[in-house]
Amino acid sequence: MSLVLVMPPADRPGDEARLEAVLSHALEGQEVVRLRRAEELEDLAGKRLLFALPLGRWGINLEYVRMLERLRRETRLLEDCTGGIIVDGASPLYTKSAAAELTLAANQAGCAFVGRPLVEGTDTLVNFTVQARNLGTDWAGAYRACARELVGRLLEESFPRHVRPELLVLHASSHHTSNTMALWQQVRGHLGEEDFSYTEIGLRNGTLSDCSGCPYTMCLHFGERGGCFYGGLMQEEVYPAVRRADALVMLCPNYNDALSANLAAFINRLTALFRQTRFYDKALFALVVSGYSGGDILARQLIAAMNMNKSFYLPGRFALMETANDPGQALSLPGIEGRLKAFSRHIRDTLLEH
């Protein structure tokens, strides 16, 4: 299978030299088509895409910005594609935020992303400390190895389908006043009760303690036994439900341009389970509702935490993002019924065996 490398040129001479060396190692022996300019992004439906982004010291790449504009404008440009990302910078900043921004734009244009799709090289490569220790190499060697491993997964990944998928739906909202819950009820109605199995868990105040940052060995010890030192709802209900689930649906109202505290606590506490298992075969979907603006901020938080970190795979157009303030307003938004039906159909097409 051929791979399409989407790599905008660096703004300054020399800013892509390290990235080119990493790509030379990662792509050795592969058939690769290389695209460098926004106008070259044509006829890509169904392709395997590796985005490689040289950011330099200041986290800016002007040709990438042109690509970003096109991805946001042409919402079917990457239909049925599957992607991964390598971002290289000469600063400890900007690599992760740029990757999340690019992932969201490509995803909204139809591109799915494998679990843990990001390999990032910061200025000193100190971010590879753990991988280098595990691989018995130095930081640069770990960078090359991780890039090559990503390419292998990107070429081989085949997302599973199921006879009757199990959906785990997580929320921290009141059923009576929540626009997010109202939208989910409509989505569930369109999905139906025969083709899917549902587990809905509310993470309301008082039911979930946040992660307290146990030492790595303690977290690993409890994770290997399927639990967490702090027990409670996460250990008793959420961990077993995550193991069973074929897809996770997160219902995310926008609180001050951030995920709610309890949803953030869920992500943090998921680390204990992640220590002893990966979620590459589990899909992530989300419903995001903002009172005024900023739904894309929450979508990028979910991408960074759940796809890039916790390894859930990201189907194309994983999130439905709406703006509604007053209770009940979401269901009266112009065109909302069509968007809800399309989102439900997309979940079916992603998870159900044909």
Q: Where are the domains of the chain?
A: 3-156, 166-351
d(CA 87, CA 54): 6
pLDDT at 219: 37
Phi-psi region of 232 (alpha: psi -120 to 50; beta: other; left: phi over 0): left
Q: Quick one: 3-156 is in which CATH superfamily?
A: Flavodoxin domain (3.40.50.360)
Laid out side by side, the sheet with 32-35 consists of 32-35, 3-6, 48-56, 82-89, 112-121
Q: What is the percent of the chain where pLDDT is above 90? A: 86
105-136: b or e for each residue (b if 16 or more CB lie within 10 Å)?
bbbbbbbbbbbbbbbbbbeebebbeebbeeee
Q: What confidence category does residue 208 fall into, taking pLDDT thresholds of 50, 70 and 90?
A: low
Lowest mean pLDDT among 31-40, 82-91, 229-238, 332-341: 229-238
d(CA 170, CA 111): 24
Q: Taking 60 as the threshold, does the pLDDT of residue 186 lie above it? A: yes
Residues 6+ apart with CB under 8 A from 242: 168, 248, 270, 273, 279, 282
d(CA 15, CA 185): 49
Q: What confidence category does residue 207 fall into, taking pLDDT thresholds of 50, 70 and 90?
A: low
In total, the chain counts a number of residues equal to: 354
Per residue in 290-331, pLDDT tens?
999 999 999 999 999 999 999 999 999 999 999 999 999 999
d(CA 166, CA 145): 34
Higher pLDDT, 333 or 218: 333
Mean residue pLDDT of the chain comes to 92
Name the one residue in this structure whose structure tokens are 């590459």: 280
Domain 166-351 has CATH 3.40.50.80: no
Domains 3-156 and 166-351 share a fold: yes
Per residue in 161-174, pLDDT tens?
999 999 999 999 87
Total-model pTM: 0.92
Q: Return the closest-CA partner of residue 150 out of 105, 124, 115, 122.
A: 115
Per residue in 106-162, pLDDT tens?
999 999 999 999 999 999 999 999 999 999 999 999 999 999 999 999 999 999 999
Tokens representing 326 are 């007053």
Q: Return the closest-CA partner of residue 311 out of 354, 334, 280.
A: 280
Lowest mean pLDDT among 10-19, 172-181, 330-339: 172-181
Q: Taking 70 as the threshold, does the pLDDT of residue 76 lie above it? A: yes
pLDDT at 215: 43
pLDDT at 218: 39
d(CA 28, CA 348): 37
Lowest mean pLDDT among 157-161, 176-180, 245-249: 176-180
Q: Taking 60 as the threshold, does the pLDDT of residue 249 lie above it? A: yes
Q: Taking 70 as the threshold, does the pLDDT of residue 221 lie above it? A: no
Q: Taking 70 as the threshold, does the pLDDT of residue 223 lie above it? A: no
Hey, is 189 helix, strand or coil?
helix
pLDDT at 61: 98
d(CA 55, CA 100): 14
Q: How many angstroms separate the Cα of 262 from the Cα of each of 3, 110, 231, 293? A: 40, 30, 15, 21
d(CA 328, CA 297): 23
Q: Taking 70 as the threshold, does the pLDDT of residue 68 lie above it? A: yes
Q: Taking 90 as the threshold, does the pLDDT of residue 217 lie above it? A: no
Q: Taking 70 as the threshold, does the pLDDT of residue 89 lie above it? A: yes
Q: What confidence category does residue 13 fall into, taking pLDDT thresholds of 50, 70 and 90?
A: confident
Tokens representing 243 are 């193991």
